[in-house]
Copies of this chain bind each other. A is one copy, B any other.
Amino acid sequence: MLEQPYLLFLGDAPDQLAAKVAQGIRDWRPESVVGQLRMPGCQADLGLPDMTIEQAAAAGARTLVVGVANRGGMISPAWIKVLREALEAGMDVASGLHNLLRDEPLLVEAARHAGRKLHDVRVPTVKYPIANGKKRSGKRCLAVGTDCSVGKMYTALAMEKAMRARGMKADFRATGQTGILITGEGVPLDAVVADFMAGAIEWLTPDAEPDHWDLIEGQGSLFHPSYSGVTLALIHGGQPDALVLCHEPTRGHMRGLPEYALPSLEDLRDVALRMARIVNPACEVVGVSINTAAMDEEEALDYLAAVERQMGLPTVDPFRQGADRLAEALE
């Protein structure tokens, strides 16, 4: 679990997109952030107070979060210098980069000396159990997709926000590195050893109050050959009561696989429900979430209305419209 509040490190981000992890934290957990740190040449800006390490420490920052993608797959000497200062000022440092903080001797030494922690959130640190399949109290909702990267994390976070606004008990449960940095905890599922995947999700979504909802971050797709096993472990470990179908309508083929067409929403509904009902016979599909970023407003609204008729389910783009209708469907 990461200590909060955060200082968001944007480094020398070449553009706004490179800082999308920081943007996600700022959008979904603004109360967890004291400010941003930008190095010379940084082209991203989250509209937060710019702070030095010293100012952030004085403002109470407990963890510097690397909220930017690194170029060329290495952590540059200029970054190392700033991260060391953060450790020396009493902060932990957290990162979801492929290159691990723990592989940088200067950071390891600085953390040891300052008595602070380096958090590489891509790497599991918990010894997860084997799943036992037992029914747990409380409710769970899982977003499943026709493909990878169609908006499953965004959908779950938007639902959490809408549900909390309605006074419902709801917690987003992170299963990937960006989600873990946003909430400060979770399971890096794609890095868990095969035998423990479903058990890790049971661990992540334990017994809860009867009217409490876990909104589990989806991963991969049952129809994506590279990652489908991860998705099924998520369904069988999560024992969802509700599924939300996620789709990006302009994609020509499965992500990274030119030979594979996307399934229809009906196919996704039928296959995901069949698999979910093995562990929870009461599971239902409650809504559809469409990522219409590639459409203009009129085209998007027409498309959403058409899917709603076709599927007979509440259908929204949570980015354009919020997730209130999905929250209502769970209520």
Contacts and interface: CB of A to CB of B under 8 A. Distances in A.
A194 B222 CA distance: 14
Number of copies: 2
A236 B230 contact: no
Interface string A256-276: 110110010000000100110
Contacts of A228: 198, 232-233, 236, 275, 278
A314 to B, nearest CB: 27
A229 B198 contact: yes
Contacts of A263: 278
A260 B239 CA distance: 13
B226 A229 contact: no
A206 interface: no
A195 B190 contact: yes
Nearest to A239: B225
Interface stretch (A36-44, A113-121, A125-133, A164-172): A125-133
A17 interface: no
Contacts of A278: 222-223, 225, 228, 263
A96 B225 CA distance: 29
A193 interface: yes
B229 A197 contact: yes
Interface in A187-218: 189-195, 197-199
A134 interface: yes
Interface string A81-121: 00000000000000000000000000000000000000000
Contacts of A279: 225
A79 interface: no
Interface residues of A, number: 42
A229 B230 CA distance: 6
Given A232-B232, A271-B274, A274-B271, A131 B192 contact: no
B192 A259 contact: no
Nearest to A219: B194
A259 B226 contact: no
A56 B228 CA distance: 46
A227 interface: yes
A188 B212 CA distance: 39
B230 A133 contact: no
Contacts of A226: 130-133, 195, 198-199, 236
Nearest to A188: B194
A135 interface: yes
A87 to B, nearest CB: 29
Nearest to A200: B194
A237 interface: yes
Contacts of A254: 133
23 contacts: A130-B226, A131-B225, A131-B226, A132-B256, A133-B226, A133-B257, A134-B259, A190-B193, A192-B193, A193-B194, A194-B233, A195-B227, A197-B230, A222-B232, A222-B275, A225-B278, A229-B229, A229-B230, A229-B231, A229-B234, A229-B236, A232-B232, A271-B275
What are the nearest 10 A-B pairs in CB distance? A229-B233, A133-B225, A225-B236, A229-B229, A131-B226, A190-B195, A232-B232, A229-B232, A133-B257, A194-B230
